[in-house]
Amino acid sequence: MKLITWNVNGVRACLGKGMLDWVEAQAPDVLCLQEIKAKPEQIPEADRHRMEAFFPHIVWNPAERPGYSGTGTLALQTPDESRQGLGYPEFDVEGRAIESRYPGFWLFNLYFPNGQHDHGRVPYKLDFYARLLELCDELHAQGEKVILCGDFNTSHREIDLRNPKENENSTGFLPEERVWIDRYIEHGLVDIYRLRYPERVQYTWWTYRFNARLRNIGWRLDYFMISQALVEQVEDVIIHEEVPGSDHCPVSLILKK
């Protein structure tokens, strides 16, 4: 089973840059999109029909605010259950989550808040981390397994961004943000990319400024975090740093059949 997560930074813009050609060639079982910045009726009709022809099951969760945030989960198989949001109105108005239950796990498609340059939304971001972890704890207590994927908007360790010293006071690398990745790990979740590739340096986001992508001045912000009980089922996790279309690149998780 192949899962792909991708912050497309505007689904309409990414579609215009060949997104569907790449997705169809990859043939994922589930495609999780973040920062779609559109309602489904705003997606060009030809593109929407093409997506619907490839993925029989599609759930969109756009933000109430136009042109902002939002998530979309596109799948070959209809999940046993699906719901939009986490059940917290302060986050759900921004379309930041879609939950899907498949045989063997709950899949969370997530777009974590950005703390903003002035750190004004850091408390909101940390509250999102806390509420989501509570849900994961509840599912683990019930014997369920979870897969969290998406843009976590945080680099965990110095290896996860090109210039850690220069960004010690930048949102996305603040100590109070990074500690939440530690807490998720303490609660039975695994950053599966870093587990498999402890020394590998790859990034998933590059600012559009300063030719950052060409110079590979990036951050690893996009993750698959999975229940410890799922680790043995993982065949590989791949950062597709060569794929254009957004300031983020897609990441694949491949599970054994």
Q: How buried is 49 (Cβ within 10 angstroms: 0-12 exposed, 13-18 middle, 19+ buried)?
A: exposed
Write the pLDDT tens digit of every residue in 121-145: 999 999 999 999 999 999 999 999 9
Mean pLDDT score, 93-108? 98
Q: How far apart are CA 219 and CA 202, in angstroms?
A: 8
Place of tokens 């169809």: 24
Domain that holds residue 146: 2-255
Confidence grade of residue 96 (pLDDT, cut at 50, 70, 90): very high
**Cβ partners under 8 Å of residue 6, min gap 6:** 14, 31, 32, 33, 34, 222, 246, 248, 249, 250, 251
What pLDDT is recorded for position 194?
A: 98
| Catalytic (active site) residue 151 | yes
Token pair belonging to 3: 């899962």
Exactly one of 47, 118, 137, 151 is catalytic; name it.
151
**Domain of 141: which CATH number?**
3.60.10.10
Q: How many domains does the chain have?
A: 1
Record the pTM: 0.98
Confidence grade of residue 257 (pLDDT, cut at 50, 70, 90): confident
What pLDDT is recorded for position 170?
A: 98
Q: Look at residue 161 and tell me whether its pLDDT is greater than 90.
A: yes
pLDDT above 70 covers a percentage of the chain that reads 100
